Amino acid sequence: MVFVQTKFMSDTPPTSLSLTTGVVIPAFLEASNIEMLLKEIQKQVPAAKIVVVDDSPDYDTVNVVKEYGHPNVTIIHRTAKGGRGSAVLEGMKTLLGLDCDRIIEMDADFSHPPSQICPLLKEASERQLDLLVASRYLPESEIHKWSLGRRTFSIASNHLARFLLRVPISDYTNGYRVYSRVAAENILKHCGKLGSGFIALSEILVNLAYRGFRVGETPTIFTNRVRGESSVSVREIRSALIGLGRIYLLKRRLTAPQ
């Protein structure tokens, strides 16, 4: 295993990066946010190929993206809510088919600042990381407009995950990440078996870390959504806790003597 903790947040302006960048955005009832987000992403990385994987029960988000009509933006609408993890895997598969070298995973609700995309890509490339996590729990990070209950639950969940899974990353559950192509290929091969929701974030982290990929983290600014609806349900939280036990068993298998 190679773990690399980084504590650098660049204010580098948007630049033309040599690697082909893909962005996967899991979405659920995000019609009020999605067009503005797409514009902000393309402002930062004009050539980025973007895949929105929408699990909404209606077609409002789909219609907004279709009306936006940019050739670099693909919308995938699923008739049932498959969960964040499966949405990310489906988006990754599409982006790998579009020959992307790096894949950004981010939320649709502006909790992950698009202005950090270029610094994240730059840092992941300079440090030769296969996975760079934008962490909410490094000393330089900031969290805004989050209720005490949500913050307490998130911190407790991450402490439990780190205690059980032993990857020295402070934030197992933030979905603002950069993946290398080889990491994404590995994820599609090995992940998505232990849960389809947010638990997939921890499953991906453990799979990559214990299979020898270079994993690191960097500070971020997280702002709770101000529009739209949260996709986190009580059912998903319960499934995540069950999934954490399954990932612990996965970690045991990956670290067992051969």
Is 66 within the bounds of a domain? yes
Q: Of 97, 103, 108, which is closest to residue 38 (Cα–Cα)? A: 108
- State mean pLDDT over 108-126: 96
Helix axes 148-165, 234-255, angle to 10 degrees: 20
Is 136 within the bounds of a domain? yes
pLDDT band at 232 (very low <50, low <70, confident <90, very high): low
DSSP line for 18-67: SSPEEEEEEESS-TTTHHHHHHHHHHH-TT-EEEEEE--SSSHHHHHHHH
Is 1 within the bounds of a domain? no
Is 65 within the bounds of a domain? yes
Is the CB of residue 147 less than 8 Å from the CB of residue 192? no
Is the CB of residue 108 less than 8 Å from the CB of residue 73? no
**With DSSP H G I counted as helix, E B as strand and the rest as coil, what are the percentages for the chain, rounded to 5?**
40, 20, 40
pLDDT band at 51 (very low <50, low <70, confident <90, very high): very high
H or E element, residue 218: strand 214-219
The CATH code of the domain that includes 214 is 3.90.550.10
Give 203's contacts (C-beta < 8 A, 6+ positions apart): 85, 191, 192, 193, 194, 195, 243, 247, 250
Burial class (CB within 10 angstroms; exposed 0-12, middle 13-18, buried 19+) of 109? buried
pTM (two decimals) = 0.88
What is the number of domains present in the chain?
Answer: 1
Which residue type, as a one-letter code, is found at position 183? A
Is 182 within the bounds of a domain? yes
Domain of 29, in residue numbers: 18-255
What's the pLDDT at 5? 43
- State mean pLDDT over 102-128: 96
pLDDT above 70: percentage of residues in the chain: 86
